[in-house]
Amino acid sequence: MTRTRTTALVAVAVAAATALAACTSAGSNNPGGSTGGGGGGAEITELKAGVFLDVTSWDPASADIGFDGPYLSAVYDPLVALDNEAKPIPALATKWEWSADRLTLSMDLRTGVTFDDGQKFDAAAAVANLKHLKAGVRSGQAYLNVTDVSAKDEDTVELKLSKRDDSLLYFMGLGRSWMASPAAIAADALAKGPVGSGPYKFVADKSAPQSQYVFTKKDNHWDSATYPFKDVQLLPIMDQTASFNAMQSGQLNAQFANAANLPKAKEAGWNISSKPSSWVGVQFADRTGAQVKALGDAKVRQAIAYAFDSAGILQAVGNGAGTATNQLWPVDGKVYDKSMDGKYQTNMDKAKQLLAEAGYAGGFSVKMPMSPIFQAWQPAANQTFGDLGIKVEWVDMAMPDYQKNAPTYPMFLAVIAMSGNDMATLSDQVTTAQWYNPNPSVDKFPEVKALVDEVEKAEPAAQTELLKKLNTKLVDLAWWDVWYQADNMYFSAKGIKVQPVTGMMFPTLRFIQRG
Amino acid sequence: MFSFITKRLLSGILLLAVVTTGTFFIAHLAIGDPTPGLLGNSATPAQQAAMRAKIGVDRPLLTQFWDWLSHAVTGDFGTSWRTFTPVNDDLALRLPVTLSVVFFATVLSAIFGVIIGIACGLRPGSVFDRVLKFASVVLFALPGYWLGIVLVQLFALGLGWFDATGYVSPEISVGGWLRSITLPSVALALGAIVMIAEQLRNSFLEVNNQDFVRTLRARGLSKRRVTRHVLRNSAPAALTVLAMMFVGLLGGAIIVELVFNLQGIGILTQQSSQNGNIPVLLGLTVMTVVFVVVINLLLDLVLGWVNPKVRDR
């Protein structure tokens, strides 16, 4: 009797589940069914992208470039956009011109554009936006050299610079020139919701903040042809397993992917794209030896570079998604020199010899910060430093504290976003103080200083060759110990193609096309 | 009864005051300066100072506490330091997600836990009883994360019966809501079902061997009526486990939220801790303590109804 009842109960439960599935599948937003990716053979009209992180802020001045691009690009137009090669191209600024001394940038603006609240886009609006962006906590970094912004006429703005800045247009295109309604800026209302002129309208009543953002395409946007999808859903999904499951089930048709799932993605027949995004290795914050004298000796830094098995770490920790290299200009760029990658082939004997020559045969002691994000690389670092006789005392901290405190340590493990623009790489990674480059110390190295000056004064056409020389010098000095450049990977259903852009953790919507 | 409820409510208010006060000062001491977490490290000292003034952490800690407390007693938990929207909005957005899953998991646990517990209690040592023992060990040993992934593979990706990830509000679709919460609820409930069943089974056996049960049987009561008496006396232990489980799941659903991409209070707690978003953390704390107090009160009332002697304690 009991057995019969139990069996009946199980049967009822299964029947209920089946009925539930049957009665609700019509309402499901899963056109691809369990085959994943959605779309099938028909033309996909809705993009459903798993973006990894939630939008930081709808205020372009407070937003991050990293994962905010797709969200902001739906609702805002930029002054400057980037093409597939990360070169600045016109958007709301239809053309621009530098003065002979490259200290004044004049921009002609598109006319006939209005913001969602009815405000007109013109030079006054652009000035209000640029001033807002310059004052912004996160966006301000792009405008460090901009001293003044003014309207020359109704559709022309002029930016005055204190110092030549060859990466300004790149940063504007990367996500630092989104134009918002000047009225919303004045009312400090952007943090609560976007007010832009972008290609999509934010559908607030179908969106669930922090979970799902729904956008629908505007009929009359000036750049409508660039955006093929009628509807867009952006879903921040931090857990990579959940994101992959959503992709497999068809709840997503594009995602920020984990390289560990590559075989399954190939099996599913999805489109796969990837591009270098971050460099991984050891940042020497104390190249002058102010804190730890040993690190001021190039031979010690070179010894560390020789000691690490970069290719092994890339395979073991990075799932092989990237390129083992000792350089941090992108491996698919013009400055990168493949022939230099052999310079620090793993050689522990050579590493110990260099340490001995520097007078540190017995190693030395150093404190390094550690946070959960970097723990994947900690065993390799422990073993390698241990083999060299370098005694590391790890100081544990949470990630926000890591960013705050790492700059105060003589060296630290680093996973640093790269730039798709060569001059931006120079500025970001070499000459400008950042949390991840706290002591640029270029002035303390005359040969480096001379090369940097030469690059910064050269005509743009000549800069690549000079940057190559600088790159060679920095590798020779073991300026960093780069282990590898990690790729960002994206899976998308057949019918959708994601074009990755170095510098954007998730590309803006103009880089997601049919294909 | 009135005095019983009043006493419980007063002790609940005391608990709420102690926990929230403690959380306020511990959070401020542990997080220190929240601006790096909120602004990132590119913020200049002037921008950090402006943010400190904007969110009010440039004031003495006691002033901040009084400001927070005086608003909190009116139900206003302030503004999120990250989104600058009311904390109540964040809670209103996240709470239904977690509550849906936890409530459904609790219902599943209660129904199946009681059925299995009684079945095993009635036939100790039977095959079914031994299967329960084995299932208890296995389900306790299995990580919730793994269990969630297996359920997704089988029932979402394999059979396509349920959604693999995400939450659908019942306002949009009741069917969609059930599809979205079933697997996470089952993942949470499996361990709880065996826990309740095991508790009920042991309690059932213990009561079943007591003198009054033998007396009932000797008086010729039917097996069904005896079982009802035994169940009434063995229920308090299982009810207590169920109540504790509800509260535990409320605070510990984060693993399931991650696996199923449910934007519930578990993930909000994690994000707020990482960002140093103290107002949201405090709002979550108050809400959790309120749930603990309410659930305990309900438990006491139910226990009092099941066994009137409890009311006199």
B-interface mutation test, from A62, A192, A207, A241, most B Cβ less than 10 A away? A241
Which are the contacts of A451, defined by CB distance < 8 A and separation ≥ 6? A466, A469, A470, A473
Q: Do residue A2 and residue B259 have CB atoms under 8 angstroms apart? A: no
| Residue A322 predicted with pLDDT over 90 | yes
E strand or H helix that includes residue A89: strand A88-90
Alpha carbon distance A108, B292 (integer Å): 62
Closest CA to A467 of A339, A345, A333, A344: A333
- Output the CATH code of domain B95-268: 1.10.3720.10
Closest CA to A453 of A164, A169, A142: A164
Q: Do residue B166 and residue A246 have CB atoms under 8 angstroms apart? A: yes
Alpha carbon distance A81, A416 (integer Å): 23
| Residue A359 predicted with pLDDT over 70 | yes
Q: Which of B94, B263, B276 sits opposite A400 (nearest CB)?
A: B276
| Residue A159 predicted with pLDDT over 50 | yes
Q: What does the pLDDT read at residue A283?
A: 96
Alpha carbon distance A155, A350 (integer Å): 62
Q: What does the pLDDT read at residue A29?
A: 38
Q: Which of B42, B44, B160 sits opposite A34 (nearest CB)?
A: B160
Q: Are strands A231-235 and A46-50 parallel, antiparallel or unpaired?
A: parallel
B261 contact A CB<8A: yes
Surface of B (208-247) touching A: CB under 8 A: none
Q: Whose structure tokens read 């430093």?
A: A385
Q: Find how far residue A250's CA is from the centre of its chain.
A: 26
CB A167 within 8 A of CB A421: yes
Q: Each residue of B241-290: pLDDT tens digit?
A: 888 888 888 776 788 888 898 888 888 888 888 778 899 999 999 998 88
CA distances in angstroms from B183 to A59, A88, A402, B68, B180, listed in the order given: 37, 47, 37, 38, 7
Q: How confident is the model at residue A391 (pLDDT cuts 50, 70, 90)?
A: very high
Mean pLDDT, rounded, for B87-107:
91
Which are the contacts of A376, defined by CB distance < 8 A and separation ≥ 6? A317
Taking the CA of residue B104 and the nearest CA in chain A, the distance in Å comes to 14
Alpha carbon distance A93, A161 (integer Å): 18
Q: What does the pLDDT read at residue B44?
A: 80
φ/ψ (deg, to 5) at A15 = -60, -40
Q: Which of B41, B161, B260 sits opposite A435 (nearest CB)?
A: B41
Query: DSSP states of A142-158 as a string?
Result: GGTTEEEEEEEETTEEE
| Residue A206 per-residue DSSP state | G
Q: How confident is the model at residue A8 (pLDDT cuts 50, 70, 90)?
A: very low
Q: How confident is the model at residue A14 (pLDDT cuts 50, 70, 90)?
A: very low
| Residue A265 predicted with pLDDT over 70 | yes
Q: What does the pLDDT read at residue B81?
A: 87
| Residue B101 predicted with pLDDT over 90 | yes
Q: Whose structure tokens read 């007063």?
A: B10
Number of Cβ atoms within 10 Å of the Cβ of B304: 17
Looking at the DSSP bridge assignments, the partners of residue A274 are A489
Nearest CA in chain A to B108: A13
Q: What does the pLDDT read at residue A186?
A: 96
B152 contact A CB<8A: yes
Taking the CA of residue B2 and the nearest CA in chain A, the distance in Å comes to 41
| Residue A398 predicted with pLDDT over 80 | no
Chain B positions in Cβ-Cβ contact with residue A2 (cut-off 8 Å): 119, 122-123, 128
Q: Which of B44, B165, B178 sits opposite A246 (nearest CB)?
A: B165
Looking at the DSSP bridge assignments, the partners of residue A492 are A254, A271
Tell me what the pLDDT averaged over chain B comes to.
85
Chain A positions in Cβ-Cβ contact with residue B85 (cut-off 8 Å): 192
Q: What does the pLDDT read at residue B312?
A: 56
Mean pLDDT, rounded, for A129-133:
97
CB A398 within 8 A of CB A371: yes
Q: What does the pLDDT read at residue A286?
A: 95
Nearest CA in chain A to B51: A137
Closest CA to A96 of A163, A170, A162: A170
Mean pLDDT, rounded, for A480-488:
96
Alpha carbon distance A410, A365 (integer Å): 11
E strand or H helix that includes residue A472: helix A460-476
Number of Cβ atoms within 10 Å of the Cβ of A435: 17
Closest CA to A385 of A282, A279, A280: A282
Q: What does the pLDDT read at residue B311?
A: 57
Q: Do residue A239 and residue B258 have CB atoms under 8 angstroms apart? A: yes
| Residue A5 predicted with pLDDT over 70 | no
Looking at the DSSP bridge assignments, the partners of residue A231 are A46, A216
CA distances in angstroms from B25 to A7, B28, B66, B281, listed in the order given: 55, 5, 12, 12
Q: Each residue of A60-88: pLDDT tens digit?
A: 999 988 899 999 999 999 999 999 889 99
CB A392 within 8 A of CB A425: no
Domains of chain A in sequence order: 76-191 (3.90.76.10), 276-488 (3.10.105.10)
CA distances in angstroms from A128 to A61, A157, A181, A220, B51, listed in the order given: 12, 11, 9, 25, 21
Q: What does the pLDDT read at residue A9?
A: 37
Which are the contacts of B19, defined by CB distance < 8 A and separation ≥ 6? B285, B289
| Residue A13 predicted with pLDDT over 60 | no
SS3 content of chain A, % helix, strand, coil (to 5): 40, 25, 35
Rg (CA), chain A: 26
Number of Cβ atoms within 10 Å of the Cβ of A21: 19
Taking the CA of residue B176 and the nearest CA in chain A, the distance in Å comes to 6
Q: How confident is the model at residue B160 (pLDDT cuts 50, 70, 90)?
A: confident
φ/ψ (deg, to 5) at B102 = -70, -40
| Residue A36 per-residue DSSP state | S
Q: What does the pLDDT read at residue A33?
A: 35
The structure tokens listed for A211 are: 């979970």
CB A430 within 8 A of CB A437: yes
Alpha carbon distance B274, A260 (integer Å): 26
Number of H helices, E strands in chain A: 15, 21
Q: Which of B47, B165, B275 sits opposite A237 (nearest CB)?
A: B165
B270 contact A CB<8A: no
The structure tokens listed for A71 are: 């969200």
Q: What does the pLDDT read at residue B210?
A: 82
The structure tokens listed for A172 are: 């504007």
Greatest Cα pair distance in chain A: 95
Q: What does the pLDDT read at residue A328?
A: 92
Q: Do residue B83 and residue A398 have CB atoms under 8 angstroms apart? A: no
| Residue A37 predicted with pLDDT over 80 | no
Tell me what the pLDDT averaged over chain A comes to.
89
B43 contact A CB<8A: yes
Q: How confident is the model at residue A135 (pLDDT cuts 50, 70, 90)?
A: very high
Alpha carbon distance A382, A389 (integer Å): 10
Q: Whose structure tokens read 């790729």?
A: A487
Q: Do residue A245 and residue B157 have CB atoms under 8 angstroms apart? A: yes
Mean pLDDT, rounded, for A99-121:
96
Q: Do residue A2 and residue B123 have CB atoms under 8 angstroms apart? A: yes
Mean pLDDT, rounded, for B63-88:
89
Q: Each residue of A208-230: pLDDT tens digit?
A: 888 889 999 999 999 999 999 99
- Out of A256-265, A313-322, A419-428, B111-120, least confident range: B111-120
Chain A positions in Cβ-Cβ contact with residue B35 (cut-off 8 Å): none
Which are the contacts of B302, defined by CB distance < 8 A and separation ≥ 6? B239
pTM: predicted TM-score of the whole model, two decimal places = 0.82
Per-domain residue ranges of chain B: 95-268
Q: Each residue of A139-156: pLDDT tens digit?
A: 998 999 999 999 999 999
- More confident call, B37 vs B34: B34
Q: How confident is the model at residue B41 (pLDDT cuts 50, 70, 90)?
A: low
Q: Find how far residue A345's CA is from the centre of its chain.
A: 28
| Residue A4 predicted with pLDDT over 60 | no
B115 contact A CB<8A: yes
Q: Do residue A21 and residue B160 have CB atoms under 8 angstroms apart? A: yes
Q: Find how far residue A490's CA is from the centre of its chain.
A: 13
- Out of B166-180, B222-236, B299-313, least confident range: B299-313
Alpha carbon distance A217, A227 (integer Å): 8
AA identity, residue A103: L
| Residue A36 predicted with pLDDT over 60 | no
CB A501 within 8 A of CB A275: yes
B36 contact A CB<8A: yes
Q: How confident is the model at residue B308 (pLDDT cuts 50, 70, 90)?
A: low
Number of Cβ atoms within 10 Å of the Cβ of B4: 16
Q: Find how far residue B137's CA is from the centre of its chain.
A: 22
Q: What does the pLDDT read at residue A153?
A: 95
Mean pLDDT, rounded, for A182-190:
94
Taking the CA of residue A50 and the nearest CA in chain B, the distance in Å comes to 11
